[in-house]
Amino acid sequence: MQTAEQQTDAQIIRYADMFSAMGTEPRLRIMRLLLSAHPEGMIASDVGKELGIAASTLSHHLDKLKKEDLVKARREGTFLWYSANAETLEELLGFLYAECCTRNKAIEPRAIIRLCK
């Protein structure tokens, strides 16, 4: 059984891996595009066309995002559809919110709400 501190350490490692996965310009653009197509998602080839990313490179980026559970993939016939994993993103945003807005009040919660409107 893990202690609360060990659980927190494991969560921090997980969140760091998520940020790392989104930490390149192409992957952040992919996430932004998939969020704009939420919840249906997009066919992989359409993502590549929209962003001007070659299929092999796109596959690499999508695999990295999928590995960190930031995107979901589903097969429909011969097409692979990708969508942003809103639950994982909500968890990641919750972590940031807790750290910056509730624990040490570095940012007032109202400021975050104004940004989201």
pLDDT of residue 117: 61
Q: Which residue ranges make up each domain of the chain?
A: 4-84
List CB contacts of 53: < 8 A, sequence separation 6 or more: 26, 30, 47, 61
Question: What is the reported pLDDT for 8?
Answer: 83
| CB contact at 8 A, 30 and 73 | no
pTM of the model: 0.83
Note the pLDDT of residue 5. Answer: 63
**How far apart are the C-alpha atoms of 68 and 64, rounded to whole Å?**
7
pLDDT at 96: 82
Task: State residue 63's pLDDT score.
Answer: 97
Q: Which CATH number fits domain 4-84: 1.10.30.50, 3.40.50.620, 1.10.10.10, 3.30.590.20?
A: 1.10.10.10
Q: What's the CA gap between 35 and 86, in Å, rounded?
A: 8
Q: What are the mean pLDDT values of the chain's consecutive 10-residue runs (117 residues total)?
A: 67 94 97 96 97 97 98 95 96 82 66 62
The backbone torsions φ and ψ at residue 68, rounded to the nearest 5 degrees and listed phi first, read: -90, 10
